[in-house]
């Protein structure tokens, strides 16, 4: 059984966790990162992951010998997971907005 894809995925997850733990602002050190910029960057990453997964799937469907099923499935799952995470972020933002709008001033 070939576990190279699983090992690679685990390595990427560990790198993402380490990066999140030591994350620095995206802008200059004296300036706080804008929430809108961070949200846009996250949306762009989700979009890129989905496009990459779709491209790999189309290559596999066209019988490209350089693309294997394991790689396609891992990319599709990564894209799905990132999309689900973004949906949860959106749900939290909508909930927070509704809560703020219902406050008495």
Confidence of residue 32 (pLDDT cuts 50, 70, 90): low
User: What pTM does this model have?
Assistant: 0.64
75, 56 contact by CB (below 8 A): yes
User: Per-residue pLDDT tens for 52-101?
Assistant: 999 999 999 999 999 999 999 999 999 999 999 999 999 999 999 999 99
HSE value, Cβ hemisphere, 13 Å, CA-based, for 103: 7
Per-residue confidence (pLDDT) for residue 95, from 0 to 100: 92
pLDDT tens-place string over residues 14-28? 777 777 666 654 445
User: Which distant-in-sequence residues (6+ apart) come within 8 Å of 100 by Cβ?
Assistant: none
* Torsion over CA: 34, 39, 43, 49 (sign): positive
Which of 62, 74, 89 lies closest to 7, judged by CA?
74
30 Cα distance to chain centroid? 27
pLDDT at position 8 is: 73
Question: What is the structure's pLDDT at 36?
Answer: 83
Q: Which pLDDT belongs to residue 51?
A: 96
Sign of the Cα torsion 83, 89, 92, 97 reads: negative
């Amino acid at each position: 059984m070939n576990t190279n894809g699983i090992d690679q995925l685990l390595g990427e997850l560990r790198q993402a966790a380490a990066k999140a733990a030591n994350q620095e602002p995206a802008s200059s050190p004296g300036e706080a990162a804008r929430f809108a910029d961070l949200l846009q960057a996250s949306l762009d990453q989700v979009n890129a992951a989905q496009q990459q997964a779709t491209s790999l799937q189309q290559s596999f469907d066209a019988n490209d010998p350089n693309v294997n099923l394991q790689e396609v499935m891992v990319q599709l799952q990564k894209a799905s997971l990132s999309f689900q995470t973004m949906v949860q972020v959106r749900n939290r933002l909508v909930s927070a907005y509704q809560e703020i709008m219902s406050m008495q001033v």
